[in-house]
Chains A and B, each alone.
Chain A
Amino acid sequence: MKGLALVALSLLGTVAAAQERADTLRASVVSSVSGSLLTPQRITTERLGTVTGVSEAIRRFTGVQVRDYGGVGGLKTVNVRSLGSEHTAVFVDGVQISHAQNMQVDLGRLSLEGLSSISLFSGQKTSPLQSAKEYSSASALYLESASPVFSGSRTDNLKASLGAGSFMTIAPGLSWEHLFKSGTSFRISGDAVSSKGEYRFHVRDYRQFPDGTVAGYDTTMTRTNCDLASIRAEALLFSPRSGDASWTLRAYFYGSGRGLPGPVYKKAGEYPLSLDRQTDRDAFIQGRYYRSLGDIWSVAGRAKLSFNHLEYTDFPEFLPEGSPARYNYRDHSAYLSASAMARISGAFSLNIAQDVQYDYLDADLRDFAFPGRFSSWSSLSARAGAGSVEASATLLYLGIWDTFLTARSRSGAYRDALMPSLVVRWEAAEHLSFNGLAKRSYRMPTFNDLYYTTVGTKTLDPEDALQLGLGVEWDLVHSGSSDMDVKVDVYRNRLKNKIIAVPTSNQFRWSMYNLGIVEILGVDLSADYSIKISGGECGAIVKYTFQQAKDRSDRDALTWGGQIPYIPVNSGSVNAFGVFSGWRADVTLFATGERFTTSANLPAYRLSPWTTLDAALSKNLSLRGKDLTLKLCLNNLLNERYEIVDNYPMPGFNCLLSAMVSWR
């Protein structure tokens, strides 16, 4: 433990007590989410057990909108503080999942298996030895793997699980952990999901007429072509728990085939509306390494090689016997990062990092540009404390050099951005702290924005996001038996040069332009109460998010001043839980206010508010050296009929029953 842990803990100085909650160093030797000045929102192991997926966990955070196209295979992305999903980077064990093609990470593909925590940093994460890339996005989501824990003299842990539930879903999983004599350990795990995915939904529209009559229709249909078959296999190698260095190495494969049900719209004849399919094969190898070099210096390195293949098959809509069109995209990426930290004194430290990455996209589209991108991130971050105030200032330089095929030869383009940020934290009292954030970050245009045949615009500027925020954390009740924390954040964001598609002078050709401006005023509120009672614990968590995200793109347009699409002004959740003698029960109510599908906030483009109630019940049993966990997740208990994305209906009530046996 002493290497990194010592460095990190000594850095925390006077704020150590407050940081303790956000510090997972106790749980795992290597962690990329410890010791940040701005504390993240976090869900850890026991709570992760009460959800069925990563996206369900994330929607419990404040300031977050999860865009969900519905169903087991439906795309799920996260939008933090209304800046757009491309402004949120997703890191797995400190290394980003990046897609140069569209910068979209499908949360539905990420597995909860083997995770110790999910953390969301809104604004700036400032942890010791962080890579340069970690400073570069407006917000960052971190998924951290649990290190294997071997009880007593055991050297092997074996775990098998099986889940089954709605949509004809079956999900088996296996995991094996082994401890070598050297202290090195590994985990090999795999899981698979097979689901027919079909569910019934309502199509309905009632309208009220001036004379008071109400008329309309309400009809049920079945969502089809939404099957999913996926397999995930991975192997992780963990360094021994002692020594000055710690590292992990991971090899990962994910393969899936799924139907793309498409939006629901009126169509003659029978469903399905779409027969389109998508096949994915994602593989990567990644590693990270931390080492302490004495009292002052410590270093870290990260590396990743990844390959993604996406095949999209487009079936003729009205002639099922006709030949479909097929498109293949192959995304190659290599990433390398080195960082060093100098703890110059107890109150002052410097963090420098240099990251490089190369991406190349291959596709069999006509006139494809075959873009390649070399990116370089250089960061310098200083952290200083004086009394009860601590501050961190960072300067990040990002340069990207693209090459792409034009008519005859390869051309190039260089883009760069300087991203400054400042984070201040003031421990006003033992249980009360304030923080402030100012950050400017840029989202580089994606390969799709720039190079999509005839649509892409090669002269795009990066999207420009400015974030200003103030937060307060108050540990209101902190007796031994009960605990209550309140957290409030107020922020003002401005997004400029937002990349949007608009038609050119030839209205049949669309093109990408830096035209959008969005002004965001947000408030995130969170209160967390728990009390220990004889034999257990219970508590409640209340979250509320206010988002005023106004379109300021075009003063003469109907969209001027309107709330941008899909962002509710009000949203929130209430969670209550109880833990007693091996039982755990969780009930969560989510509510989202009205939204609009365009910034012209007219009634015709309004999406109804929705409320869903989820519940989870689990029981741990010990049976002759085996641990058995039974879990029942009940989603959308009220059978609410709702849409998060227009014309993509969400499923009604659904459930998943799972059993997990572990031998340890």
Chain B
Amino acid sequence: MKKHALLVFSVAVLALAAGCQKDETTSRDADLAGVNVAVGEKKGAFSKLFVLNEGNFQKNNSTLDFLRFSDGNYVSDAFGSMNPAVVQGLGDTGNDLALNNGKLWLVMNGSGYVHVLDAKDETLIASVAVPDPRFIAFDNSHAYVSSYAGAIYGGEEKKGKVYRIDLNTYKVDGEVEVGCQPEGVTVSGGKLYVANSGGYNYVHENTVSVIDLSSFKVTATVSVASNLHFMASDGQEAVYVSSYGESSWSQDSAGNWIQSMSEPMGLYKISGISSTQIKDVHVSCMTTSADGYIYAIGNAGELTGGYSITLYKVAVKDGSVASKALSGTDASKVGNPYGILVNPSNGDIYIADADYTGPGKVWCFTKDLKEKWSAVAGMLPAHMALY
């Protein structure tokens, strides 16, 4: 074991990355070695698929991976390799990842940071302290981050907040109180929509807070459904929000815990201050795609206690739903679908597969659910973005 001198504070031996000497059209992360998963998309619309591994609770092992489409290599822990001097790396429990204007934003729930990276080479630009952050959305001038703001399970009831971060200074310049344990956020028509879960409360919340972005005040609260989670905008007027539904716990005659869904997991469309349910969509993870669809994965059999993992494709223009069970397709190999993303240029579906005893996997399927490739990811891969 090598002994290193005691350095007072985060003094680093900086790598003289070989990339420095390369011409500027080559990304500095091009030399990072990866595992070849032979994707073969040299001339695709995207150069990288970013994967944020949540990591285990308080294990500080959240990592950022990417798949490089040009050579089909899956690179693990790219953030650590490109920013070796950043003390304790990315940190704990990455809960959201989003691309905005060439920057990659990582929301670190356990660490209380929002990291801003250069999407080109994963180098750290700024780390913004935000307490207990959950999800992120953007308008032209700001990032908006939902936050539990210090609530604890079993403690007193606490309202959550949305923090506003200036895109030029990377400083928090505003906050507004919303419902309890806010989750997904999305921007549409000059307004920010915030899904309030109330996940720590005995009775969940069922509202979406609507914040006017010019005044940064809550202007409306829309009742939707219990325990709201993911939020997405259709790019027009409407926004979509998913609900984890309402369940009650009971015990059968043998004393086993049975979760019965009194309200199913669902998807809701909000227009103005009214919401309508999109029929029969059970959402445990979802994504919007530029191809005009919302994709979601959920258990179609949840109400009857069955187990039928299903892929839903919801057309934004008319709310029509096409569903397909994963069983019987290559995607039945996915153990625990934990995140989904769709490539709008070729329809490929990426599914993050969380294993709870070891590292997870990222799968790529064609739109017909034929397997293209899979890669070993980090702990609990969940959030993805195409660059």
Contacts and interface: CB of A to CB of B under 8 A. Distances in A.
Interface of A: 202-207, 209-211, 213-220, 262-269, 314-319, 322-325, 327, 366-367, 369, 404, 406-407, 411, 413, 454, 456-459, 500-503, 505-511, 553, 557-559, 562, 597-600, 602, 604-605, 608-611, 646-647
B4 A210 contact: no
B383 to A, nearest CB: 15
Contacts of A407: 250-251
A472 to B, nearest CB: 34
Given A216-B13, A317-B132, A598-B357, A506 B84 contact: no
A636 to B, nearest CB: 14
B87 A322 contact: no
Contact of B81 (A209, A505, A600): A209
B153 A325 contact: yes
15 contacts: A209-B81, A218-B5, A263-B60, A265-B88, A266-B87, A266-B113, A318-B132, A324-B152, A366-B202, A458-B256, A506-B299, A558-B359, A559-B357, A599-B358, A604-B359
B60 A558 contact: no
Residue of A219, A366, A646 ringed by the most chain B CB atoms within 10 A: A219
A269 B128 CA distance: 11
Interface string B120-138: 0000000101111000000
Nearest to B255: A458
Contact of A265 (B31, B91, B131, B257): B91
Contacts of A507: 284, 336, 338, 354
A597 to B, nearest CB: 8
A107 B255 CA distance: 34
A217 B6 CA distance: 10
Contacts of A611: 1
Given A210-B31, A458-B254, A263 B249 contact: no
B234 interface: no
B27 interface: no
B376 to A, nearest CB: 7
B150 A505 contact: no
A322 B12 contact: no
A646 B59 contact: yes
Interface stretch (B14-22, B37-45, B98-106, B288-296): B14-22
A501 B108 CA distance: 25
Nearest to B376: A558
Given A207-B80, A502-B357, A263 B58 contact: yes
B111 A600 contact: no
Given A218-B6, A220-B8, A314-B152, A404 B33 contact: no
Given A207-B80, A219-B87, A604-B77, A265 B58 contact: yes
B33 A210 contact: yes
Interface in B239-256: 244, 249-251, 253-256
Interface string B177-210: 0000000000000000000000000100000000
Contacts of A413: 254-255
Contact of B84 (A207, A262, A459): A207
A215 B85 contact: yes
A594 B234 CA distance: 51
A366 B338 CA distance: 28
A267 B131 contact: no
Contacts of A367: 249
B111 A268 contact: yes
Contacts of A323: 155-156
Residue of A211, A262, A562, A608 ringed by the most chain B CB atoms within 10 A: A211
Contacts of A411: 251, 253-255
Nearest to B378: A604
A600 B359 contact: yes
B10 interface: yes
Interface string B158-189: 10000000000000000000000000000000
Given A268-B112, A324-B155, 7 more contacts: A207-B84, A209-B15, A210-B33, A216-B13, A316-B150, A322-B150, A506-B299
B218 interface: no
Residue of A267, A269, A503 ringed by the most chain B CB atoms within 10 A: A267
Nearest to A274: B58
Contact of A266 (B92, B254, B257, B357): B92
Chain A interface main SS type:
loop
A319 to B, nearest CB: 3
A559 to B, nearest CB: 4
Contacts of A454: 249, 257, 259
Given A316-B150, A317-B150, A269 B129 contact: yes
Contacts of A457: 256-257
B1 A317 contact: no
A316 B155 contact: yes
A266 B124 CA distance: 15
B76 interface: yes
List 8 A-B pairs, minimum CB-CB distance, nearest first: A319-B150, A266-B91, A600-B358, A318-B150, A265-B60, A325-B154, A215-B15, A266-B88
A216 B77 CA distance: 14
A219 B299 CA distance: 46
Given A264-B60, A319-B158, A604 B357 contact: no
A639 to B, nearest CB: 9
A605 B355 CA distance: 14
Contacts of B31: 210
A565 to B, nearest CB: 9
Given A218-B11, A263-B59, A599 B113 contact: no
B290 to A, nearest CB: 27
B76 A604 contact: yes
B307 A557 contact: no
A316 B152 contact: yes
A508 B92 CA distance: 19
Contacts of B81: 207, 209
A611 B3 CA distance: 13
Contacts of A562: 358
A404 B256 CA distance: 11
A598 B63 CA distance: 16
Interface string B55-96: 000111101000000000000110011001111111110000
A500 B111 CA distance: 27
Contact of A214 (B11, B13, B77, B152): B13
A541 B336 CA distance: 50
Contacts of A218: 4-7, 11
Contacts of B151: 316, 319, 322
Given A263-B58, A407-B250, A322 B155 contact: yes
Contacts of A327: 154
Contact of B131 (A262, A318, A501, A609): A318
A314 B358 contact: no
